[in-house]
Amino acid sequence: METGPNNSTEDTATWSFITSTSTKSWFLCISLFAVLIRLAVAIHPYSGAATPPMFGDYEAQRHWMEITVNLPVKEWYRNTTANDLRYWGLDYPPLTAYQSYFHGILLKLFDPASVSLFTSRGYESYLGKLLMRWTVLMSDLMIFFPAVLYFLTVYYSRKPNGEKNSMAWHSAMILLNPCLILIDHGHFQYNCISLGLTTAAVAAILSDRDIAGSLLFSLALNHKQTCALYDYYVAMGGRFFNALLFWVATVMSAYYAPAFFGYLLGKCLKRQNPILEILKLGLVVLGTFAVLWWPYLYSVDASLEVLSRLAPFERGLYEDYVANFWCTTSVVLKWKRLFTTQSLKLLCLAATISTCLPSMIQLVRFPSKRGFLHGLLNCSFSFYLFSFQVHEKSILLPLLPASLLAFEEPFMFRWLIYHALLSIFPLLRRDKLVLPYAVLYGLFGLLYYTTGGRKDTTEIYSFYSTLKSSAFACSIFLHMIYMTVTPPEKYPFLFEAVIMLFCFSQFFLVFIYSNSKQWALSKTSIQEDAEKKRL
């Protein structure tokens, strides 16, 4: 391409009409493009299309709308004659239920048959699909997009002007995250809501609005991310815990929560009245939870009933082939045979907490904004890799902080995203989404390497760089094998297992890399402190 002395000026000129104008204008252009891509992905099939009796995630979401629209709030999580919990019973926190209710009302308005009780099971129609798709897009536009804009303005407000050219590129990286688009608009889920709320919470905390941040994060937790804590709770025989204590513990155990907790704690400790500050934030979190859980707070049993739905017992250590520690090591060690479920849960808890700890300690000791983003990545990664009952879709959780860090760590982001894509490839192939997968895979590369983007600082990490290049070659090779070769009859899931092993190795490397980066930050912060003292 163009090589000449004017390279750098010309280079910015290509996109100058987007980057040099106001934030609103380029954000509008990129959002419109992101919406176009989402709309185009949405015309492809969804998970479980035309596959009775259970269908897929699409049917689960539709069924929740059916339940929430037709039944009173108190029965949403209860097994009744009208609500058979074995058929896609509601197992997400209350905010998801409210969101289903809201979307269900919209669906009822335009296509009543799609949410009628009992008769709508397995309902599939042209209009129904469109309306469902549009509810996802609407959530995306109303929550994720504004949150990203908020994050970017906060994130770049303290950076020098020269780096502002990368804002447009950075927003494209976050908004056109191929995994998120494929899972939400292809496979069908509403991750954009919880991830959007988390992004907004991160932005609020980065701009020192800690209270708003805690509130937003509590909302995000109540949409999706409460996880297997109830299992731990039962495993520990914790009958004496009351619901209040449980919520505090919940906050501790969801993917991003340790990072939020650590960073906010570290920040509070540096202030004048640490206890007061902590109390304030704690009250906000408890208050938000109380409001959202209000319909179930009339008795302990009712709230425990909901809690028990959030982490069903019948599920195992892992599902399908997820590239985490337990599933990968089960090739050698049959965890399920060696341990009882109860002890496995404790083991998971111990492993997760211990892998989170380094990152959390760093955050408490040296709270910094960049460290916070790294902490989010590390903690969510340790949950993905070590916690109980992880889905392959959960890779979206570590991906979000990685995309927020894309400006600082473009290399790590790309490394992660290519393998995250590979790790969800078997799932998307089952959904017949190979075409959009391939297109978004390529599109991401095009956007990543576009002009005016972030330059790669790979020469410093030449070891990682060669590692990543060979890994990329492996990944392409695996894609081709998986698409073309039929596995031997004896091992029908051979290739899934290989992909899982490979992805796990890469994820683990990224995990170590990011942790080391986070700890490297504390050195600079020690130096800064020393300089301040000297002054």
Where do contacts with other proteins occur on this chain (CB under 8 A)? 1-2, 7-8, 10-11, 13-14, 16-18, 20-21, 25-26, 28-29, 32-33, 35-37, 39-41, 43-44, 126-127, 130, 134, 137, 435-436, 438-440, 442-443, 446-447, 449-453, 455-459, 465, 469, 472-473
- CB of 94 closer than 8 Å to CB of 292: yes
Residue 505 CB, shortest distance to other proteins, in Å, is: 19
Residue 449 CB, shortest distance to other proteins, in Å, is: 5
**CA–CA gap between residue 10 and residue 13 (Å, rounded):** 5
- CB of 227 closer than 8 Å to CB of 253: yes
**CA–CA gap between residue 418 and residue 404 (Å, rounded):** 16
- CB of 393 closer than 8 Å to CB of 295: no
Task: Please give the single-letter amino acid code of residue 240.
Answer: F
Residue 1 CB, shortest distance to other proteins, in Å, is: 3
Neighbouring C-beta atoms of residue 496, cutoff 10 Å? 18
- CB of 456 closer than 8 Å to CB of 409: no
Residue 13 CB, shortest distance to other proteins, in Å, is: 5
Residue 23 CB, shortest distance to other proteins, in Å, is: 12
Residue 196 CB, shortest distance to other proteins, in Å, is: 20
- Among candidates 145, 139, 55, 58, which has minimal Cα distance to 103? 139
Residue 154 CB, shortest distance to other proteins, in Å, is: 24
Residue 277 or 431 having the CB closest to other proteins: 431
Residue 113 CB, shortest distance to other proteins, in Å, is: 16
Residue 372 or 437 having the CB closest to other proteins: 437
Task: Please give the single-letter amino acid code of residue 45.
Answer: P
Residue 442 or 492 having the CB closest to other proteins: 442
Question: 84 CB contacts (<8 Å, ≥6 apart)?
Answer: none
Residue 37 or 323 having the CB closest to other proteins: 37
Residue 450 or 527 having the CB closest to other proteins: 450
- CB of 405 closer than 8 Å to CB of 177: no
How many whole angstroms from its chain centre is CA 327?
A: 20
Residue 44 or 345 having the CB closest to other proteins: 44
- Among candidates 320, 420, 422, which has minimal Cα distance to 380? 420
Residue 17 or 294 having the CB closest to other proteins: 17
Question: 396 CB contacts (<8 Å, ≥6 apart)?
Answer: 179, 180, 183, 191, 195, 420
Residue 274 CB, shortest distance to other proteins, in Å, is: 44
Residue 284 CB, shortest distance to other proteins, in Å, is: 37
Residue 331 or 435 having the CB closest to other proteins: 435
Residue 137 CB, shortest distance to other proteins, in Å, is: 8
Residue 7 CB, shortest distance to other proteins, in Å, is: 6
Residue 262 or 436 having the CB closest to other proteins: 436
* H helices present in 387-461, as ranges: 396-404, 410-430, 434-448
- CB of 503 closer than 8 Å to CB of 323: yes
- CB of 374 closer than 8 Å to CB of 256: no
User: Helix (H, G, I), strand (E, B), or coil: what is residue 318?
Assistant: strand
How many whole angstroms from its chain centre is CA 302?
A: 29
Residue 168 or 221 having the CB closest to other proteins: 168
Q: How far is CA 500 from CA 186, 192, 385, in A?
A: 21, 25, 12
Residue 342 or 465 having the CB closest to other proteins: 465
- CB of 226 closer than 8 Å to CB of 254: yes
Tokens in use for 213? Answer: 């941040």
Tokens in use for 176? Answer: 């056109």
- CB of 391 closer than 8 Å to CB of 319: yes
Residue 351 or 443 having the CB closest to other proteins: 443
Peptide bond into 53 cis (omega under 30): yes
**CA–CA gap between residue 520 and residue 513 (Å, rounded):** 10
Residue 287 or 442 having the CB closest to other proteins: 442
**Direct distance between the N- and C-terminal alpha carbons of the chain, in angstroms, rounded to an integer:** 49
Residue 393 CB, shortest distance to other proteins, in Å, is: 21
